[in-house]
Amino acid sequence: MGLHHYFLYSTYFNERRFSYYFRLFDSFSSDRIEPIGVVFQLAHVVESTDFHDAPVEGEKIIPTEWAIHQIRTTANFGTKSKVLNWYTGGLNFQVEHHLFPRISHVHYPAINKLVKETCEQFNIAYNEFPSMMAAMGSHTRHLKLIGRTA
């Protein structure tokens, strides 16, 4: 297969995959829970992730280095579940997705181990929940907390 055939095949495959995910995750009915919205909530709006205030004029937009910011503001969940990994297209490995967005999700479990080791080496908190239900619990507690302080 020539390079142009590979490009045409990969473009076709990616368009079909995008179309599939769009149909899977997007609905125009308000009475359904949106799976992609749930994934984003569980990966970003939980107790252990950091939120930064808008910068004051003259300050950096992100107070830490880019990679550290990605690790602190995202969380993984259910990374041992092959079904969840398949269903979310690897988005349950949100930390790795943010650090390596162009790498196929099939490599995230291996990358996950390396990122965890590196975080431990540099004393950076790594946010991961053992299951989707644990992340849901953290999300609910976080919403209650911010609801009380609002």
Give DSSP secondary structure letters for 27-95.
Answer: -S-TTS--HHHHHHHHHHSSTTS---PPPPTTS-SSSS-HHHHHHHT--EE-TT-HHHHHHHTTTT-HH
Residue 67 · residue 34 · CB < 8 Å: no
Model pLDDT, residue 64: 81
Average pLDDT over every residue of 71-93:
94
Residue 11 lies in a domain: no
Residue 122 lies in a domain: yes
Is the pTM value of this prediction over 0.85?
A: no
- For 132, the domain range is 34-52+62-149
* Element holding 122 (H helix, E strand): none
Long-range contacts of 84-89 (CB under 8 A, 24+ apart): 84/132, 85/109, 87/35, 88/35, 88/39, 89/21
Residue 46 lies in a domain: yes
The per-residue pLDDT of the chain, averaged, comes to 80
**Total domains present in the chain:** 1
Question: CA-to-CA distance for 48 and 70, rounded, in angstroms?
Answer: 13
Residue 146 · residue 47 · CB < 8 Å: no
Residue 35: pLDDT band (50, 70, 90) is confident
Residue 15, pLDDT above cutoff 80: no
Average pLDDT over every residue of 22-39:
59
Burial class (CB in 10 A: 0-12, 13-18, 19+), 76: buried
Residue 66 lies in a domain: yes
Residue 129 lies in a domain: yes
Place of tokens 């930064």: 52
Which positions ≥6 away from 83 have C-beta within 8 Å?
none
Residue 142 lies in a domain: yes
pLDDT digits (tens, 9 = 90+) for 95-143: 999 999 999 999 999 999 999 999 999 999 999 999 999 999 999 999 9
Residue 33: pLDDT band (50, 70, 90) is low
Average pLDDT over every residue of 23-32:
46
